Structure 1
């Protein structure tokens, strides 16, 4: 079947090709009646615009790149839902890539997206320093960057996430209020988010006159998933041998929370009678764990929508050569109390 062109529509409707093009682009120059007539004909005959030709003419691809650590993570999946919903409304296409918590892989993702001519990149960075100068260089040129989730960095752009220190402090205080004081904090090693959560954990201990013990801190390399479970088991064994087994665990990421609850069950450690558990988790199935998980959940879909909206804001303001005032937006996380504490 021959592909329908603008010229074909113009000939059929006895209009000019520029008129057809403007109508399909929702231009104010075309009156409502003519626009509806053209759009109806295009839909009826399955017209699809030539994205390549349009990009060559306008210098835009209407494609936004998105880089997350892992798509399988429920938190990032929900962020992607928010981005996708907003992109459909704005008639943008999305290319999604995974950094897998590796600076080298993240750099490759950025290179690929830039080489494809994306209009901008939304990214949750691997860390608060790796590749940031490269991202700033792109942002200052013709490829704007918007940061989501991991916002503790110096990139001068829009950054959307949560107040991680406040959320962690609140979660730790919840444990302390329930008479848990011997708390193991399991976190990551690489990014600013986990450092902020560690600060919140330490602040809650300080406010309650509970000394911080380095032995009650486990930093896991989240880029090496295969050894994370081994690290957690080794830490629990080490503390047990020193007669310092924790009465509670606070986990700083979705992955660590899910791995920890599984390992405790595997080791036949009863929750919460032997060890209580609270952690960051955006899984929709936290209520169905055994026992149901007390978790800190982030407004992930809202974060995704805001990140995309801010990208469109940058693109529109740059096109009009208007000054952009960047901001960091920190939303509130929510703690859902269940039976694991």
Structure 2
């Protein structure tokens, strides 16, 4: 297709659509003309994209159609509809597409935590690496349990700390190295503390105080690490998509995941602040933590599978993405 000739033929219709889209009031004939031109220019855009994908013209026609759509349909949908769409479609789809990465990363780093714990619990070298005897005894007998003080202030501190850890995995995920460093640091520490508690016969206390909130909290950190590593792998192996486009799409979906993790970490912070250190019986605390984790995975697998089947990816809607350079092939 001769793009210049196509533009010359239809430029008048495009300019007329722009003019009608900017008017505050239209009479009946003009409103009918606006709708007709919108449909016509939408066909023109489809033709350009399939036959002569010039990024400048595609961007121009897309913006013209967006303005016309607003004129025809009125103002943007209420904010609550955007929120509902995000919660029901975009977020679960972004999590669901990460599920294999989450499970793989979880298996690797939970195994690392177990190895670190066994090493500390069963070898003099591992135990000595945690600290001197006086420090270890004080930590096991007092400091570990006293850390979990019930209250909103403690919950806020926990949420902030965990959000910072997750944010590092998201912000520096493209490096491929920083998420691994953050996960190794955190899971070796968790394993080492568990090993130290086990060495002194307090493994039960460790599990009672770590599982209620830790089930969802550690899962959230693993999700952040998995999301960061997936973005890195997209840079390395973009598949059938151009590398720039693939990284942009996965990067936007990554920030959808980050927004969701704000909520999961807030929930785990509430559990840690009001359940873990409370006077509830230990089994009820663990049940509450398990229910929180179960709710997360139900949300991901049920709503996420449905959203992906509908074509959702966690990326922005097309009209919010902006200009995307077209490629042939």
Give the alignment's TM-score, normalised by structure 2.
0.30
| Structure of higher RCO (CA pairs closer than 8 Å, 6+ residues apart) | 2
Larger Rg: 2
Task: Return the structure number with greater strand share.
Answer: 1
Task: Return the structure number with greater helix share.
Answer: 2
Give the alignment's TM-score, normalised by structure 1.
0.29
